[in-house]
């Protein structure tokens, strides 16, 4: 069954709405509508920057105030570009080092931070469980997408056929240029899909490859059993869309962070 999907945009964030699941909230923030200044202008959500903690605190509150939630409802992890996943039962838990957060607790706001990597949102409307994974290129090569589906099966008794996934904004194939050593990681380690289909070259850039992280993660989710019609892709490039997003690659590493937020009301 195809599930309706809608992207609602305001200045501060994109909100992904799933038909028939009004209690599932999935947001991806922009760089607009906050209080940060300079290179972090203006809605920087990430503490792993040189922005002031006071500004970041205010920015997070600006977003959560829209849902009558305080920032102490947020739970996050130390992201390490790996494939470790954690289930949390409340916002007071410390998830430690991991790149995926999942919960079935209400008003526990899962939060992860991005500046080019691929955010993966998950929701099971049957088991009422929600999750987020951080799929950088290393996480993608490690198939965090399929591992996330398996994790929901194990922790919540989810069926892959019930899970809805949203792939949020990330660096696009247009801008994600890598050398042969990174290209080899994809072709050697992702054997469960035809990954070469999503890797391109340009004649004028000898030895360089262009990788479509969103398309690879979509294919990995399909291979894990999620129905194609239940996988929704927000086709936006964080590197191209400078007015909307921070980009680690475009901004040479010194930049703000967008937040992916997921919670059940």
CATH code: domain of residue 28: 3.60.140.10
pLDDT above 90 for 134: yes
What is the rounded (10 degree) CA torsion for 93, 161, 163, 245?
A: 130
Residue 74 falls inside a structural domain = yes
Span 86-99, pLDDT tens digits: 999 999 988 999 99
Q: What percentage of the chain exceeds 90 in pLDDT?
A: 95
Contact 73, 98 (CB under 8 A): no
CA angle 188, 190, 193 (to 5 degrees): 125
Residue 238 falls inside a structural domain = yes
Residue 220 falls inside a structural domain = no
Q: Give the distance, in angstroms, between the CA of residue 149 and the centroid of all CA atoms in the same chain.
A: 15
Residue 181 falls inside a structural domain = no
Residue 24 falls inside a structural domain = yes
Which structural domain, as residue segments, surrounds residue 72? 5-169+227-264
What tokens does 57 get?
A: 């605190």
What tokens does 130 get?
A: 């929600």
| pTM, two decimal places | 0.97
Buried b (16+ CB within 10 A) or exposed e, 129-163: bbbbbbbbbbbbbbbbbbbbbebbbebbebebebb
With bands split at pLDDT 50, 70 and 90, how would you rate the model's confidence at 3? low
What tokens does 185 get?
A: 């990681």
Pairing verdict, β 177-178 and 209-211: antiparallel
Q: What is the pLDDT of residue 205?
A: 81
Q: What is the pLDDT of residue 1?
A: 37
Q: What is the pLDDT of residue 61?
A: 98
pLDDT above 90 for 140: yes
With bands split at pLDDT 50, 70 and 90, how would you rate the model's confidence at 141? very high
Pairing verdict, β 231-233 and 164-167: parallel
Domain count, the chain: 1
Span 4-57, pLDDT tens digits: 899 999 999 999 999 999 999 999 999 999 999 999 999 999 999 999 999 999
Closest CA to 133 of 141, 125, 147, 90: 147
């Amino acid at each position: 069954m195809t599930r309706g999907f809608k992207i609602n945009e305001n200045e501060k964030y994109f909100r992904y709405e799933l038909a028939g699941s009004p209690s599932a909230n999935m947001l991806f923030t922009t760089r607009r509508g906050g209080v940060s200044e300079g290179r972090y202008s203006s809605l920087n959500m990430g503490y792993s920057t040189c922005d002031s903690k006071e500004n970041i605190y205010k920015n997070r509150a600006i977003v959560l105030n829209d849902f009558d939630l305080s920032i102490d409802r947020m739970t996050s992890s130390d992201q390490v570009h790996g494939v470790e996943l954690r289930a949390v039962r409340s916002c007071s838990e410390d998830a430690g080092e991991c790149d995926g957060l999942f919960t079935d607790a209400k008003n526990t706001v899962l939060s992860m931070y991005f500046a080019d990597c691929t955010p993966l949102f998950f929701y099971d409307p049957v088991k009422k469980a929600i999750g987020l994974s951080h799929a950088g290129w290393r996480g993608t090569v490690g198939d965090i997408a399929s591992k996330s589906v398996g994790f929901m099966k194990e922790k919540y008794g989810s069926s892959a056929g019930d899970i809805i996934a949203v792939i949020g904004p990330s660096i696009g194939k247009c801008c994600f240029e890598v050398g042969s050593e990174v290209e080899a990681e994809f072709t050697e380690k992702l054997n469960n899909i035809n990954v070469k289909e999503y890797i391109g070259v340009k004649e004028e850039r000898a030895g360089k490859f262009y990788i479509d992280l969103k398309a690879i993660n979509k294919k990995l989710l399909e291979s894990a059993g999620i129905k194609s019609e239940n996988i929704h892709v927000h086709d936006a490039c964080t590197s191209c869309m400078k007015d909307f997003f921070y980009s680690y690659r475009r901004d040479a590493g010194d930049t703000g962070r967008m937040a992916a937020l997921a919670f059940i009301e």
